[in-house]
Amino acid sequence: MCCDAIIDALFGTGLIRNIEGVYRDVIQLINGSGKRVFSIDIPSGINGDSGKMMGTAVKADYTITYGTPKIGNVLYPGYEHCGKLYVSHISFPPSLYNKDSLKTEISLPVMLPERNKNAHKGDFGDVLFIAGASNYYGAPYFSALSFLKAGGGYSRLASPSSVTPFIASKGSEIVFIPQEETGSGSISLKNKDRLLELSGQVDMAVLGPGLSLNEETQELVRQLTKDINKPLLIDGDGITALSKNIEILKERQYPTVLTPHLGEMSRITNIPIHEIDEHKIEILREEAENSGAIIVLKGAHSLIGCPDGKIFVNMSGNSGMATAGSGDVLTGTICAMFGLGVSLEDAVRTGVFMHGFSGDLAAQDKGEDGITAQDIMDYLPRSLKIYREEYEEIVRDFYQSIYTV
């Protein structure tokens, strides 16, 4: 091609069918040209509502979208096809892109309160983690210790008595509360009253990391979910237990946070994974509104759904974080943000961001291949330090992802 650059304006955000014929040929020529490509509003071939590729799509170097980012600009694979993404408000009145009726937006994490120089450990949050089972040592370890690494103060771990010594050998900063076990080495229903008493002494409770699918333990999860009168985060095997009676959430008097991946979201909603993947925003919004829970749908650019119908798109993180234990680090990080003194909704949004930010710092130093949950957790203190020192810059640049013209 005898040109210096290509302007792509073949299709806009309303594309609903796969691209075929001459249009497909043109897009393939653009992608194979080796020229710098500028897409207008969204790369041609990307669905504006889902970010999905409609058969084929332009791979742009730069995309200039108007008014506000479109969902297809920020969800994968659309985000990756945009290259560097710029937003031009052109002549859009601010009242349009700032109005409350807009229910989906980029998640901008909040500024963290300054640490009280005269504080004690209880001032930075006291959280009870109910987690672990025979052969599941990592999940309780990463969730309970990540809480401390992300700035939390007092981490209590209720895990099976046979598991506790192994976790204590790695995470001696955690306060351990050994539990009676089932025959398979999971937490027994006999512990219910003691766990309810303990939950009354803390600021927040966590249910689920590595609890196993033992039916007695799953029943314990359902009963504790109903009766714990504190903010509660449910993850992993706890979500599987709830999927058998998700209506329990409506009976809770205190706020609840769920952190499912696509498979767990499918169990909660009884909707196939592929359908959720196609309609993430709509399904997440409906489930958050119906259940009354804040739901983090984990994945590339995780989504946070709130009971009021708002959806926040998190922009931090990378593919190296798709590794065992990463979600447990997220659990502890969210709890730490709550312990540092922000509201629960802001704690969830900021915790999701900090988790991704920590993974990005690890990838920057080590590369995305081979990052482990331990790496993500170990970078949490540094990520908080940078976040506190460079908060204004991070917010201004939308985490170096979306630039305003």
The CATH architecture one would assign to domain 121-392 is 3-Layer(aba) Sandwich (3.40)
Distance CA 31, CA 222 (A): 52
Q: Which residues are bridge partners to 65 per DSSP?
A: 87
pLDDT digits (tens, 9 = 90+) for 340-380: 999 999 999 999 999 999 999 999 999 999 999 999 999 99
pLDDT band of 400, cuts 50, 70, 90: low
Contact indicator for 333, 298 with CB cutoff of 8 Å:
no
Calpha distance 327→260 (Å, rounded): 9
pLDDT in tens, 291-343: 999 999 999 999 999 999 999 999 999 999 999 999 999 999 999 999 999 99
Using one digit for the tens of pLDDT, what is the confidence trace for 182-213? Answer: 999 999 999 999 999 999 999 999 999 999 99
Of the candidates 117, 132, 125, 118, the one whose C-alpha atom is nearest the C-alpha of residue 151 is 125
List the CATH code of the domain at 5-99: 3.40.50.10260
Angle subtended at Cα 30 by Cα 24 and Cα 34, rounded to the nearest 5 degrees = 150
* Domain boundaries defined on the chain: 5-99, 121-392
- pTM, to two decimals: 0.94
